[in-house]
Amino acid sequence: MGDLLINFLSGPVPIEAYLGVSLIMFFAGVYGFLSRKSLLMILISVELMLNAADINFIVFNRYLYPGHMEGFFFALFTIAIAACETAVAIAIIINIYRNLSSVQAGELNQMKE
Amino acid sequence: MQYTLLIILLPLLSFIVLGLMDSKLKPKVAGAIGVSVLGIITLLSYISAFEYFYLHKIEGVYEKLVPLHIEWIRFNEFLHIDLGILLDPISIMMLVVITTVSLMVNIYSLEYMKGEKGFQRYYAFLSLFTFSMLGLVVATNIFQMYIFWELVGVSSYLLIGFYYTKPSAVAASKKAFIVTRFADLGFLIGILFLSFYTKTFDFNILNSGDASIFASTAGVSFMGISVMSWTMGLIFIGGAGKSAMFPLHIWLPDAMEGPTPVSALIHAATMVVAGVFLVARLFPVYHTYAPDVLHVIAYIGAFTSLFAAVIACVQTDIKRVLAFSTISQIGFMMVGLGVSGIGGHEGHEGLGYMASMFHLFTHAMFKALLFLGAGSVIHAVHSNEMNHMGGLRKYMPITNITFLIACLAIAGIFPFSGFFSKDEILAATFQFSPYLGATMSFIAGLTAFYMFRLYFNIFWGKEHKHEHTPHESPFTMAFPLVFLAAVTVVAGFLPFGKLVTADRSEYIIHLDPIVATVSIIIAVLSITLAALMYMKEKETPKQLATTFSGIFKMASNRFYIDEVYIFITKKIIFNLVSTPIAWFDRNVIDATINNIGVVTQWTSHKTKRFQSGQVQQYAYVFLVGTLIIAAIMLFV
């Protein structure tokens, strides 16, 4: 057990460690998306899921195709697009707040009635 | 002669203009449009008649001209529906008849329909009718004829139901449409048979005398009757429906609910002779391939003629008398065609055809005159009933004289036009069968009797008390009367045998002196009888009515044919056919559809809670679904 821990800590970081982190981030995002009431918190959860995906891009590129750059650039593009998407989402949320004085997801049911 | 296209298209244009203007025009303008268009096309058709009869005769035979021919719908090499214009003696004659009568009716209606609600609509429909009727007579092929055939049916329906707030007019228009439509089913099946066997719709090919196109019908028969007889018989059913032959005549008397000028145009002069025209158009085919059908046509015509003449003797509504008289006269034309042959240089084979067409022409003129005269009388006394009239000759001299001329013409008195045409039909019938000839002479006598019964009852006899003094109609109504009366007087002297004959070559008319003398004597005797009975108020008619009360009652009720129809439709067809079909419709077809609806509704009730509008809930469902699919893909 001790050997294993030492190997793990002294050797190169294995791929599973990265994937584990991204998995935790992703499901934290999913949980947050489903459980938070505030639209802002839901947005943050979405960002979390996106970042988990970015990590996966980079890790797979680094471990499976060393010397290639596609995954890194893809991650960069995703970050840029995520920033845009966040700006749009926040604009929508501000408008919702102006109209309804609330940013609670559960109260957004005008379209249903 | 391409300008004949204008004759057809101008009324269509006037229909579209009047129809789309939606009562925005002043009645005077609408009337002026109708009359001027008709005036132009009447002129054009006269010009075309002159040009045709003078210029297009080659070696004694009139050409068949096709100035316009468009392939409209093409199915394959043989089967294509064309539109075009076919000019031959009968279509030229019909152009003249239709435009003349239509022009007169248009002029007459300016006054007769003045102040009516829907004056413009009336003129629009008149134009539509004129367009369709002209299209019918110049049709190059039987399918084009069928299209226009239905169009005249529609315009007749629209005009009979012109007073659409009056229930009886609505019922009459529906009756006319349904009865003729029912007959047209036979026509359509006949057309399909004919084109199936001959691979063509074209009249010129059908009438060309080329035996090869009928080769495929040889030896084909059904129930012991050859297929050509079936085909031509079915086509005749269509003609019988439009021309009110027994037993499809029931719509015509009711059609008198329409405005009187419409009756003059459609239900006396033009549309009702469409059936005669159809038989004449296909006459070579009838004559060569279905002579038995031609004989049936003759007998149906004779029976209808007798039947209608008997009824006409006891009707009291003047328009209905004229309606039955029309049926009777169309019967004459049918007999003329039925007994006819082709040819006519030696012997008299083509006499019936020529006489029938001649009678069509003269009848159109004097029957339109009679109807317009009746309209003038109705306009003056505001009633259709004979016993509300009487003694009108003092008040309405022009109507009196013109009506008398028309009555003399229809009774067959020399020198009025009806004498010549009717006499030739009688001569042709005597050649065919003396018994049939005698019957037709008897009917001619009846015709003279009932027409003069009508005449004396309206213009002579005891004066009925009027709310206000009847007055002569104004010029716009009197002019058509005078014009048609003039035509009626001179039309008999037209050299018709040189113009319109079965083989399009000259036919020299020899008046048969015996037939002519006998029929004049019969007519004069009948007129005298009518004069004795109706000229002065007398008890004789009533006594006769009581003596022969049985037949009198039956004839007054038109031999209960309408009741038979009602019985057949209501008791038999409705109960035995319609009721089971209605049950099937309600309990099988409707039930299936309804249950599909019920199931859909139930499903949506059950599933509508999924549509909460809560994004997070959707996301949750989505996630669970994804996980389930992932689990299935991993473990199954």
Residue A87 has pLDDT above 90, yes or no: yes
Residue of B nearest to A27 (CA): B623
The closest of B351, B310, B341 to B327, measured between CA atoms, is B310
The identity of residue A8, as a single letter, is F
Taking an 8 Å cut-off on Cβ atoms, the answer to whether A34 and B623 are in contact is yes
Q: What is the mean pLDDT of residues B193-222?
A: 79
Query: Which residues on neighbouring strands pair with residue B62, listed in sequence order?
Result: B57
Place B203 in a pLDDT band, splitting at 50, 70 and 90.
confident
Structure tokens at B280: 């004449």
Average pLDDT, chain B: 85
Residue A30 has pLDDT above 70, yes or no: yes
ipTM over 0.85: no
Taking an 8 Å cut-off on Cβ atoms, the answer to whether B611 and A111 are in contact is no
Residue B62 has pLDDT above 60, yes or no: yes
Residue with tokens 């019920």: B598
Place B631 in a pLDDT band, splitting at 50, 70 and 90.
very high
CA distance B636 to B627: 14
Residues 6+ away with beta carbon under 8 Å from A82: A47, A50, A51
Domain harbouring A15, CATH code = 1.10.287.3510
Average pLDDT, chain A: 87
Measure B622 CA to nearest chain A CA, in Å. 11
Taking an 8 Å cut-off on Cβ atoms, the answer to whether A33 and B616 are in contact is yes
Q: Is the peptide bond before B434 cis (omega within 30 degrees of 0)?
A: no
CA distance B495 to B408: 21
Structural domain containing residue A20? 2-112
The identity of residue B55, as a single letter, is L
Structure tokens at B323: 């309606």
The conformation of residue B221, written as its DSSP 8-state character, comes to: E
Tell me whether B620 touches chain A (CB under 8 Å).
Answer: yes
Structure tokens at B405: 């001329």
Residue B466 has pLDDT above 70, yes or no: no
pLDDT value of position A54 = 92
Start-to-end Cα distance in chain A: 61
Q: What is the mean pLDDT of residues B569-592?
A: 87
Taking an 8 Å cut-off on Cβ atoms, the answer to whether B611 and A30 are in contact is no
pLDDT value of position B528 = 86
Structural contact between residues B351 and B507, judged by C-beta atoms closer than 8 angstroms: yes
Measure B620 CA to nearest chain A CA, in Å. 6
pLDDT value of position B627 = 92
Contacts of A105 in chain B (CB under 8 A): 614-616
Q: Mapped to the 3 state alphabet, what secondary structure does B410-466 carry?
A: HHCCCCCHHHHHHHHHHHHHHHHCHHHHHHHHHHHHHHHHHHHHHHHHHHCCCCCCC
B242-301 residue pLDDT tens: 888 888 888 888 888 888 888 888 888 888 889 899 998 888 888 888 888 888 999 999
What is the percentage of chain B residues whose pLDDT exceeds 90?
15
Tell me whether A33 touches chain B (CB under 8 Å).
Answer: yes
Name the range with the highest mean pLDDT among A6-15, B201-210, B279-288: B279-288
Taking an 8 Å cut-off on Cβ atoms, the answer to whether A34 and B619 are in contact is yes
Contacts of A30 in chain B (CB under 8 A): 623
CA distance B274 to B267: 11
The closest of B191, B153, B146, B8 to B87, measured between CA atoms, is B8
Tell me whether A46 touches chain B (CB under 8 Å).
Answer: no
Residue A89 has pLDDT above 90, yes or no: yes
What is the percentage of chain B residues whose pLDDT exceeds 70?
97
Residue B167 has pLDDT above 60, yes or no: yes
Q: pTM of the prediction? A: 0.77
Place B576 in a pLDDT band, splitting at 50, 70 and 90.
confident
Contacts of A109 in chain B (CB under 8 A): 612-614
Q: Where are the alpha helices (DSSP H) in B313-350?
A: 318-338
pLDDT value of position B348 = 62
Q: Which of residues 95-114 of B touch A (CB under 8 A)?
A: none
CA distance B403 to B386: 15
Residue B199 has pLDDT above 90, yes or no: no
How many domains does chain A divide into?
A: 1
Measure A69 CA to nearest chain B CA, in Å. 30
Contacts of B611 in chain A (CB under 8 A): 112
Contacts of B620 in chain A (CB under 8 A): 34
pLDDT value of position B428 = 86
B548-567 residue pLDDT tens: 777 777 777 777 777 888 88
Query: Which residues on neighbouring strands pair with residue B141, listed in sequence order?
Result: B202
CA distance B279 to B38: 27
Tell me whether B514 touches chain A (CB under 8 Å).
Answer: no
Residue B346 has pLDDT above 70, yes or no: no
Residue B166 has pLDDT above 90, yes or no: no
Residue B354 has pLDDT above 80, yes or no: yes
Measure A12 CA to nearest chain B CA, in Å. 31
Q: What is the mean pLDDT of residues B132-159?
A: 91
Taking an 8 Å cut-off on Cβ atoms, the answer to whether B615 and A109 are in contact is no
Taking an 8 Å cut-off on Cβ atoms, the answer to whether B614 and A42 are in contact is no
Tell me whether A105 touches chain B (CB under 8 Å).
Answer: yes
B603-621 residue pLDDT tens: 998 888 777 777 888 888 8
